[in-house]
Structure 1
């Protein structure tokens, strides 16, 4: 049986000071998609984009990111 991963929330982003983190979630999702597209297009390793993925998965509601 595998161990469940612990989820941590990212630190405060001063671009999004409000309690509602929906825009922060959305922006990190878009940043991940853009990073993934451009690095794939250039033939580089996509692992540099994983930070954005971790942030949006920790901020967004689970039913938004599990499909």
Structure 2
């Protein structure tokens, strides 16, 4: 086996997750998507934005990051 500097790539198979949310959150997400379009000039669906929103939230949570290091 070759000794490559690049390690084996992680699993990149998307995982579908279905959730139910309250109407207030749905309206807020729709508003966010509209603001995103205004800011960047490109429409993105709420479903496309949510994974990036969640990743950003988790990346900014220091307690969560510390717990995952252990």
TM score, norm. by length of structure 1: 0.33
TM score, norm. by length of structure 2: 0.33
When Rg is computed on C-alpha atoms for both structures, the one with the higher figure is: 2
